Amino acid sequence: MLDPQDNCTETLSMAKTQKISSSKIKRAAITGATAVKIGAKIAQQKGKRLLQRGGRSAEQMAAQQLADEQQIGKLLFSALGQLRGTALKVSQLLSMEADLLPEGIRQELAKSCYQVTPLNRAHVNKVFMQEFQQGPNDIFQQFSAKAFAAASLGQVHSGITPADEQVAIKIQYPGIGASIKSDMQMLRAVLHTLSLTTKLLPEKSVVTAVMDVIEQQLYKELDYQLEAENGRWFAQHLSSEKIVIPQVLEQYSSTKILTTSLLQGLHLQEWLLTNPSQQQRNFYGQIIFDSFMHSAFELHKLHADPHPGNYLFMDNNQLGLLDFGCVRTFSKEFCSNISSLMSTFVAHSKAWDTHSVLQAYQTQGILSAQLQLDEFNQELLPLLDPVINWVIEPFKEQQFDFSQRSSYPKMDLASAKVSAKYLNAIPKDQIYFDRSLFGMMQILKQLGAVVNTSNQWIKAND
């Protein structure tokens, strides 16, 4: 399961602009040096722990573990920051993978959303000339040369069309796609090494499954025409009086440039600074929760990039939903299985009907069909119990106060290895669903919202 850390709205730094380097040799040198540094840091930490053995409280040991993880996270983040390009997007996604990385590392990687370097005007003009054979000032009545926000793999400028429409213009970073394959190969190598040599990561198969999903997502997010199609679909099926989705302006959009209507509002952290009332927090929290459940179980399609920068708190009690680069479509069968699985968890959260739990996991394809009930009860269920209870925590009562949401339960390496032994597969749909669900819950936690979580899809059927 996946538990995103607090994410921040992506903003543009004022660092010197420069084109993304696609030199494989240079990028390989960065990751190779990082692997050596991480190895040396881990050896140093082990030596320090041996010298400090004994006489330390559990709290002191936990604090030291977090500090050690943060040191590793700083080294990994430094490498990703030097690689730039897709590597920073990968850093953001990895910061949300609780099953893959420990908390200290994720905290450091989450800082990547503050490190996006803006394109200079020459590169902006180059992209426009490639896509439209005209510069932005020839196309728009007004075009702001300074970007006001960063998107996943590009940056966003404001403008006004010849028809006096205020628009947001997302421009893809030049050369960003050239580095995806090599970056992912190198990052896999670093993470696989950590998996084999430390207690920081689970087995290689789990790392590979998550990294495969991230790579697939990156390639999809490069296609702004696909994102435009996703935006139009959600505008047709999800938009309402409470939810506003920007309109795509096709005549000003292409594979690498996406122009939409400009929504006015505040991102989460900005909105929280206005000191909203509990009633306002609950109101928006309910919209976010209800739209997620409706999308997943009725529309079978999720906006699967769960960070606060994709929500806009608007006037008139409306919520803007932005950035449809990462969308996942599920089969009816998958959604039905998820509903059954989580409903089984809720129904048996206090007194497990272990046969039903095992059967639900096997139906989903997560556990092998050959796993016997006795072995499941004795070996696997005790390890899964804390995670299962954490997942269903908000669904046990009709209302849940997300400000009281507990932390994701930690699993030590030995337990993780035992769990991995019984794992039949990690369905890609499951990874997307988990990330979206827990990302949504993390936003509700930041909101401090009290939400009516009673619904027709996840409930005790006893």
**Per-residue pLDDT at 52:** 65
Average pLDDT over residues 420-447: 84
Is 0.85 surpassed by the pTM of this model?
Answer: no
Average pLDDT over residues 9-13: 41
Whether residue 384 is found in the same domain as residue 282: yes
Average pLDDT over residues 315-320: 93
Segment 68-98, tens digit of pLDDT: 777 877 777 776 666 555 666 677 677 666 5
Whether residue 132 is found in the same domain as residue 56: no
Whole-number percent of the chain with pLDDT over 90: 37
212 within some domain: no
CB neighbour list of residue 340: distance below 8 Å, 6 or more residues apart: 360, 363
Confidence of residue 134 (pLDDT cuts 50, 70, 90): very high
**Per-residue pLDDT at 95:** 67
Confidence of residue 199 (pLDDT cuts 50, 70, 90): low
97 within some domain: yes
Confidence of residue 458 (pLDDT cuts 50, 70, 90): very high
**Per-residue pLDDT at 260:** 97
User: At which of 233, 262, 291 does a domain end?
Assistant: 262
Query: ∠12-37-10 over CA atoms, to 5°?
Result: 15
Q: Give the chain's largest Cα–Cα span.
A: 73
Whether residue 189 is found in the same domain as residue 49: yes
CB 349 within 8 A of CB 461: no
447 within some domain: yes
Q: What is the enclosing helix (H) or strand (E) of 358?
A: helix 354-364
Average pLDDT over residues 408-426: 71
Residue of 206 and 1 predicted with greater confidence: 206
Residue 117 reports pLDDT greater than 70: no
213 within some domain: no
Average pLDDT over residues 278-306: 94
Domain holding 82, by residue range, is: 24-113+179-201
CB neighbour list of residue 132: distance below 8 Å, 6 or more residues apart: 139, 254, 257
41 within some domain: yes
CB neighbour list of residue 295: distance below 8 Å, 6 or more residues apart: 238, 301, 302, 303
Q: Which of 2-11, 203-212, 352-361, 389-398 has the highest mean pLDDT?
A: 389-398
**Per-residue pLDDT at 414:** 65
